[in-house]
């Protein structure tokens, strides 16, 4: 499985594309195809199973299942925090594992959160981002969904180091993996319903949300604000090639094409003023 | 809380008060809990909407295209966008199930007129979800002009969609496409929301 999409990543990276679309998403046509495939699979299998899981299994039990997998995940969240140089956060993650695995009985109770040791959100994709690696083009992976070249490589590593992979016998391992996926999908049922309602074009909405979210996560919720005057929608449309070719030493330009912060227009003040003027 | 009173409140206090009040209302109201959308809409209409600047949100989401829109188009864009956002917000609120809120201290100077108020939603076995309200001081109190959930700005997220639609079918095309979206949601909803005339 992991090799399949590593191969896919390499294959995609090799495709040179020139297009009119969003500079962050040069493989849009291809991505939309995978997106459609994922939607079909989701509608046919994942969503019905997750809905049944939510409706049949009591919330208390679902919370424990979530906690159990979350506890295993904390080990690698800790590893990633250490790799990013955030030693204290990493220490907290390991303390969470210690408390939750013992007092929390194999992780089914999140006692660490009750003690005030909060869960973090880290993965290898974020670690690569922290190390200064740009996200690269947006990708939709089969089954796994939204990603980028960088995050896809991160996910490959996440899966490679996944402790569930080493569980034997095989049928136990497979059941655990299915349970984890089902729970994760069930947790997203509300979010996907809201997405359905909010988006004019679900593909675009989900892509932009993913890119914004990942950028925020790489910076642990505090992404730097972009300078206002640098971003002008009209400039962007007129000179897309400038955005697409990051210069050799022009780091700043590179960062820009990979940044997903809300773009505050240059005429922000005027726009706001105009807004108030026309408020009924 | 009546709008008149809200005028003098600090932005973080305002967010805290409104959140607490709304959460209390919806968790006590049996009809809302059992899925009465119209009643939920009433609560939102009365308690939440006065603190939002929808024209500002629409203008920011439109970016450069806002300048090219006529006053009539601006009004219609704002109206449709508001309907869309309010319905999405109602859906999110309807999914509320006793999560706890953590109100972060405001990091701003007293003279600031543009601040971000941080609230976090705590849930077991998952990282807290930050909700950041971008707020601006106006003559009628602090108004929200963007909401970021988990680092995703709502306004920025609509910008690409809006730009694409305007590029393909113009501003009127965008109005039409939002109208169609709102109508399809209205048709799908079991109860007619109070928001519609």
Residue B190: C-alpha distances to residues A257, B61, B83, B186 (Å): 43, 30, 16, 8
**What is the domain count for chain A?**
1
Reported ipTM: the value is: 0.86
Mean pLDDT of A80-99: 97
Nearest-Cα residue of chain A relative to residue B95: A190
How far is it, in rounded angstroms, from Cα A88 to Cα A242?
Answer: 40
Which residues are CB-contacts of A7 (< 8 A; sequence separation ≥ 6)? Answer: none
For residue A22, the chain B residues in CB contact (below 8 A) are 160
Are B102 and B122 in contact, with CB atoms under 8 Å apart?
A: yes
The whole-number pLDDT of residue B91 equals 85
Tokens describing residue A236? 């962007």
Residue B94's pLDDT is 83
Q: Where are the domains of chain B?
A: 2-188
What average pLDDT is seen over chain A? 81
In CATH terms, the superfamily for domain B2-188 is Tgt2/MlaC (3.10.450.710)
* C-alpha to C-alpha distance for A182 and A200, rounded to whole angstroms: 27
Cα distances from A158 to residues A131, A150, A164, A226, A234, in angstroms, run 17, 12, 11, 30, 39
pTM (2 decimals)?
Answer: 0.81
Chain B environment of A276 (Cβ under 8 Å): 53, 55-56, 138
Query: Under an 8 A CB cutoff, do B59 and A118 touch?
Result: no
* Residue B151 C-alpha, separation from nearest chain A C-alpha, in angstroms: 5
**Proportion of chain A above pLDDT 90, given as a percent:** 65
- Going by C-beta distance under 8 Å and a sequence separation of 6 or more, which residues neighbour residue B156? A208, A212, A260, A261, A262, A263, B61, B146
In Å, what is the CA distance from B73 to each residue of A65, B80, B94, B145, B155? Answer: 51, 11, 31, 20, 18
Res. A160: pLDDT tops 50: yes
Average pLDDT (A73-83) is 96
Query: Is it true that the peptide bond before A214 is cis, omega within 30 degrees of 0?
Result: no
Question: Best residue in B41, B63, B68 to probe A by mutation, most A CBs within 10 Å?
Answer: B63
Confidence bin at A6 (pLDDT 50/70/90): low
pLDDT-derived band at A226 (thresholds 50, 70, 90) equals low
- At A155, give phi and psi (nearest 5°): -65, -40
Instruction: Give the residue on B whose Cα is nearest the Cα of A212.
Output: B152
Nearest alpha carbon to residue B89 among A207, A209, A198:
A198
Burial class (CB within 10 angstroms; exposed 0-12, middle 13-18, buried 19+) of B69: buried
Whole-number pLDDT of residue B7: 61
pLDDT at A119 over 90: yes
Distance from CA of A10 to the nearest CA of B (A): 28
Q: What residues in chain B have per-residue pLDDT under 70?
A: 1-7, 124-125, 189-197
User: Is A100 in contact with A112 (CB distance < 8 Å)?
Assistant: yes
pLDDT of residue B5: 54
pLDDT digits (tens, 9 = 90+) for A165-202: 889 899 999 999 999 999 999 989 988 988 888 999 99
Mean pLDDT of A84-110: 96
Q: Which range marks the domain in which residue A193 is found?
A: 2-276
B126 and A22 within 8 Å at the Cβ level: the answer is no
> Which chain A residue lies closest to B70 (C-alpha atoms)?
A278
Report how far residue B183's alpha carbon sits from residue B181's, in angstroms, rounded to the nearest whole number: 5
Confidence of residue A235 (pLDDT cuts 50, 70, 90): very low
Residue A8 pLDDT > 90: no
Percent of chain A beyond pLDDT 70? 73
pLDDT of residue A254: 39
What letter would DSSP give residue B39?
H
Contact A262 B155 (CB under 8 A): yes
The mean pLDDT value for A76-94 works out to 97
| pLDDT attached to residue A66 | 94
């Amino acid at each position: 499985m992991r090799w399949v999409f590593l191969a896919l990543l390499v294959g995609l990276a090799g495709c040179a594309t020139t297009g009119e679309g969003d500079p962050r998403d040069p493989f849009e046509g291809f991505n939309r195809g995978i997106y459609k495939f994922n939607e079909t699979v989701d509608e046919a299998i994942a969503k019905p199973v997750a809905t049944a899981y939510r409706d049949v299994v009591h919330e208390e039990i679902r919370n424990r299942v979530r906690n159990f997998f979350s506890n295993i995940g904390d080990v690698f969240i800790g590893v990633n925090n250490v790799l990013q140089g955030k030693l204290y956060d990493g220490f907290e993650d390991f303390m969470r594992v210690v408390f939750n695995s013992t007092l929390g009985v194999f992780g089914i109770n999140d006692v660490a959160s009750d003690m005030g040791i909060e869960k973090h959100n880290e993965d290898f994709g974020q670690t690569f981002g922290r190390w200064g690696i740009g996200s690269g083009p947006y990708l939709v992976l089969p089954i796994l969904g939204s990603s980028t070249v960088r995050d896809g490589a991160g996910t490959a590593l996440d899966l490679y180091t996944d402790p569930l992979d080493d569980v034997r016998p095989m049928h136990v391992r497979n059941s655990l993996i299915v349970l984890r996926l089902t729970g994760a999908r069930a947790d997203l049922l509300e979010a996907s319903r809201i997405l359905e309602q909010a988006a004019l074009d679900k593909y675009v909405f989900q892509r932009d949300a993913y890119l914004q979210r990942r950028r925020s996560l790489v910076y642990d919720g505090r992404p730097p604000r972009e300078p206002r005057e640098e971003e002008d929608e009209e400039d962007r449309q007129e000179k897309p090639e400038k955005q697409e070719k990051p210069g050799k030493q022009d780091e700043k330009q590179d960062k820009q094409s990979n940044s997903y912060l809300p773009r505050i227009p240059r005429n922000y003040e005027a726009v706001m003023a105009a807004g108030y003027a026309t408020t009924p | 809380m009546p709008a008149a009173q809200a005028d003098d409140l600090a932005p973080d206090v305002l967010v805290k008060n409104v959140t607490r009040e709304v959460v209390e209302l919806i968790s006590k109201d049996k009809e809302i809990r059992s899925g009465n959308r119209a009643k939920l809409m009433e609560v939102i209409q009365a308690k939440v909407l006065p603190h939002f600047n929808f024209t500002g949100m629409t203008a920011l989401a439109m970016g450069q295209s806002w300048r090219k829109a006529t006053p009539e188009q601006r009004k219609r864009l704002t109206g449709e966008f508001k309907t869309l956002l309010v319905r999405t917000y109602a859906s999110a609120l309807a999914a509320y199930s006793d999560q706890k809120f953590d109100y972060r201290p405001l990091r701003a100077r007293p003279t600031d007129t543009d601040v971000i108020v941080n609230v976090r939603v705590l849930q077991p076995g998952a990282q807290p979800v930050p909700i950041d309200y971008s707020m601006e001081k106006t003559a009628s109190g602090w108004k929200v002009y963007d909401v970021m959930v988990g680092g995703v700005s709502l306004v920025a997220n609509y910008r690409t969609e809006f730009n694409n639609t305007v590029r393909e079918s113009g501003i009127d095309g965008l109005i039409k496409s939002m109208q169609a979206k709102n109508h399809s949601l209205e048709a799908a909803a079991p109860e007619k929301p109070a928001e519609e005339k």
